[in-house]
Homo-oligomer: A and B are copies of this chain.
Amino acid sequence: MSPTPSSPSTSSTVTKIARRGLMLVLSSPSGAGKSTIAASLLRDDHSLGISVSVTTRAKRPSEIDGTHYHFKTIPQFERMRESGELLEWAEVHGNFYGTPREPVESAMADGRDMLFDIDWQGAQQLQEKMKADIVSIFVLPPTMTELQSRLHRRAEDSEEVIATRLANSRAEIGHWREYDYVIVNDDLGNAFEAVQSIVRAERLRRDRRFGMFDFVTKLIEETPVL
C-alpha cells in the first residue's frame, strides 16, 4: 500500500497527537452485513473497543454474558434506565436493549474509539447526547432479494422471525438520511475497506485532535538547528 515503505527507525519517530475518541455507529436492516463488518473491524483493529449492551432478551446458546451482552431481567434494566446509567435504550421485537454510559464517556476522554452495532432508534438517542463524537454509517443491501437471501443463509432464525425482520427492513431503511455515511454492501470486501477508510479519516479530523494545538505551538516556537 505504502509508496515509500517506512524503515523501523522512521516509524519509531511517528508523532503522537492526543485526540478525543470517536463513537463509530453502524446501523442497517437485518442481513445487510452490519454485524459481519463489525466483527471484521474488531479483528483488524485492536484499538477499537466495543460497547457491550445490556439486554432483557433471552441468551442464545452461542452467546457469553458480559461479552456479547450484559443479560438483565426487566426490573434490573428498568433500574439502570431510571438512574441514568444508560446512554440510550430501545425496545425491539419485545425486548429491551441499552448502552451503559460510563464506559463510553471514559473511552472518549482517553482517546479510545468504540464501535456501536445498534439500530436507528439507538443511533438517534446517541446523536442527541454525544453528537460531536459520533461517526455514523448506514449499511444498505444492494437489493431486497439479496437481503432476504442473506437472512435465509444465516439460518439462525425461524421462518417466522425472518418474515418479521424483512417486513421491518423497509421502515428501517427509511432512516438512511440520519447517517453521515451510507454504504451499499454489494461486496463484503469493498464494504469493509470503505468502513476502514472512514475510521482512518475521521481519526485525522482537526476537531478531534485536541493535542494539535500544543504541537503547533511548539513547532512555531522551534528554531531550526541547521
Contact = CB atoms under 8 A, between A and B. Distances in A.
Nearest to A149: B226
Copies held by the complex:
2
Interface string A207-226: 00100100110011011111
B186 A13 contact: yes
Contacts of A40: 3
Interface in A189-204: 189-190, 192-194, 196-198, 200-202, 204
A188 B224 contact: no
Interface string A139-181: 0111111011100100000000000001000100110110111
A10 interface: yes
A188 B4 contact: yes
19 contacts: A2-B190, A2-B193, A3-B192, A4-B188, A13-B142, A14-B187, A17-B184, A144-B219, A144-B220, A144-B222, A149-B226, A166-B224, A170-B220, A177-B206, A181-B206, A184-B215, A193-B200, A198-B200, A198-B204
